[in-house]
């Protein structure tokens, strides 16, 4: 208890964080109160979201994560790689609805496994998925008011640099630091791109290049309490070294039918709140996000865990990663956020405090950010 009272005057230890994750319901109110004190001190009054369209550039993927319903093999029903016209159609519809982010989510390097993807890319005029992604980010930046935020999986330092010229921020979920989850029948069995060391390397390379970066953890996929804390500490350590992690997402695993983990237990509300609170205690000054659609209908309670951001919310496109869980209506999100005592603000894919880092990567980005931002760095077209 003394550790909770002292939180905010120094960082809590790994041991304390693990203990808090294992604590029972009785301790939850004081854990949440400590997290809220820190959020109110470092991120007072405002909860942000990014109004986005979701662009599933390709759902072909060379990995087979045990919880994923997004990925397809070529020829499976729903397998699709979007054409540039399809991308721009979604982008223009998003513009009409006041969106400011084009979130590119896609499978990891499908062309390494599937000749069909190599053929599709060849027909489009590209050698790799990353090259096609770069061209589409560039087109979105050139022809629309939206700002791209790509999530393409593992990238080399060179690709990070190329994408940073056409997108103000990008992301890669660390998910976990537990390499045990790569073993047979675990969540990342047959998912070579989910090797934690490779993902940490990408996040570190992004840090060296000062690229505003989104990452986070996925809880409930077989990791231990220690593993969960270690993943948060790894993110914090990289941010302390490079200052580039603009937000940390805490995502809760949801079991989906017809996946190898369909019958896997989901983390409950208490576990999610404990994890959010521990994340806030470990990184009091950072932006902390939890997706509302994965905790519906009680998502407003996530604010009790100390978050200050809802992530990307779309008025147009479904969450293709979790299609069975629609995003809340934006007006409803506003009402519930205000009922908890916060102002809801629309941000850009890059957070206000990371705007200068983003603008340094290209003149075009700097110009586009100037047009898109308000004087405080939030979306000019504020909701
Ligand atoms: S979660 Fe991502 S990397 Fe894993 S299978 Fe799905 S699309 Fe591929």
* pLDDT, tens only, 323-346: 767 667 888 999 999 999 999 999
Cβ atoms of 262 and 255 within 8 Å: the answer is yes
Measured distance CA(65)–CA(72) in Å, rounded: 11
Cβ count near 169 (within 10 Å): 27
Measured distance CA(89)–CA(324) in Å, rounded: 23
How far is the CA of 300 from the CAs of 3, 148, 338, in angstroms? 27, 28, 10
Q: What is the bridge-based pairing of β-strands 343-347 and 46-56?
A: parallel
**C-alpha 286 to ligand 1 mean position (Å):** 26
The pLDDT assigned to 4 comes to 77
Pocket test for ligand 1, best of 103, 107, 194 (most atoms within 8 A of CB): 107
Specify the pTM: 0.95
**C-alpha 368 to ligand 1 mean position (Å):** 31
**C-alpha 221 to ligand 1 mean position (Å):** 14
Chain length of the chain: 383
- Over 70: is that where the pLDDT of 382 sits? no
Pocket-forming residues, ligand 1, beta carbon under 6 Å: 61, 63-65, 68, 70-71, 107-108, 153, 191, 193
Give nearest CA residue, ligand 1 atom 2.
107
- Evaluated on CA atoms 47, 53, 57, 63, the torsion sign reads positive
| Superfamily of structural domain 2-372 | Aldolase class I (3.20.20.70)
pLDDT in tens, 84-124: 999 999 999 999 989 999 999 999 999 999 999 999 999 99
**C-alpha 240 to ligand 1 mean position (Å):** 28
Give nearest CA residue, ligand 1 atom 7.
107
> Which helix (H) or strand (E) element contains residue 81?
none
The pLDDT assigned to 297 comes to 86
Q: Which ligand 1 atom minimizes the distance to the CA of 67?
A: 1
**C-alpha 155 to ligand 1 mean position (Å):** 15
Cβ atoms of 74 and 107 within 8 Å: the answer is no
pLDDT in tens, 39-55: 999 999 999 999 999 99
Which segments of 202-244 are extended strands (E)? Answer: 213-219
């Amino acid at each position: 208890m003394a550790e909770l009272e002292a939180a905010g005057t120094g960082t809590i230890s790994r041991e304390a964080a693990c203990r808090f994750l294992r604590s029972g319901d009785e301790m939850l109110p004081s854990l949440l109160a400590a997290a809220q004190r820190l959020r109110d001190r470092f991120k007072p009054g405002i909860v942000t979201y990014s109004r986005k369209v979701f662009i599933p550039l390709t759902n072909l993927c060379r990995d087979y994560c045990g919880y994923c319903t997004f990925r397809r093999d070529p020829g499976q029903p729903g397998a699709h790689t979007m054409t540039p016209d399809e991308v721009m159609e979604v982008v223009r519809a998003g513009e009409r609805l006041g969106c400011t982010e084009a979130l590119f989510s896609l499978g990891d390097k499908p062309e390494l496994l599937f000749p069909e993807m190599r053929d599709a890319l060849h027909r489009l005029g590209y050698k790799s998925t990353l090259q096609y992604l770069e061209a589409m980010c560039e087109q979105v930046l050139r022809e629309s008011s939206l700002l791209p935020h790509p999530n393409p999986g593992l990238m080399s330092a060179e690709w990070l640099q190329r994408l940073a010229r056409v997108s103000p921020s990008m992301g890669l979920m660390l998910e976990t630091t537990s390499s045990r989850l790569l073993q047979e029948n675990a969540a990342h069995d047959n998912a070579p791109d989910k090797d934690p060391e490779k993902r940490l390397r990408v996040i570190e390379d992004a840090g060296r290049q000062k690229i505003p970066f989104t990452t986070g953890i996925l809880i409930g996929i077989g990791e231990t309490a220690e593993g969960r804390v270690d993943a948060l500490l790894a993110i914090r350590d990289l941010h302390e070294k490079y200052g580039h992690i603009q937000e940390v997402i805490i995502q809760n695993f949801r079991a989906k039918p017809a996946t190898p983990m369909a019958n896997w237990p989901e983390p409950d509300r208490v576990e999610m709140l404990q994890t959010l609170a521990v994340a806030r205690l470990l990184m009091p000054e950072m932006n902390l996000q939890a997706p509302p659609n994965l905790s519906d209908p009680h998502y407003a309670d996530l604010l009790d865990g100390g978050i200050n951001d809802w992530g990307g919310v779309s008025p147009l496109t479904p969450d293709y990663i979790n299609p069975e869980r629609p995003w809340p209506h934006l007006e409803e999100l506003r009402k519930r956020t205000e009922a908890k005592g916060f102002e809801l603000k629309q941000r850009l894919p890059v957070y206000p405090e990371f705007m200068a880092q983003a603008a340094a990567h290209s003149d075009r980005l700097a110009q586009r950010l100037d047009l898109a931002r308000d004087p405080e760095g939030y979306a000019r077209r504020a909701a």
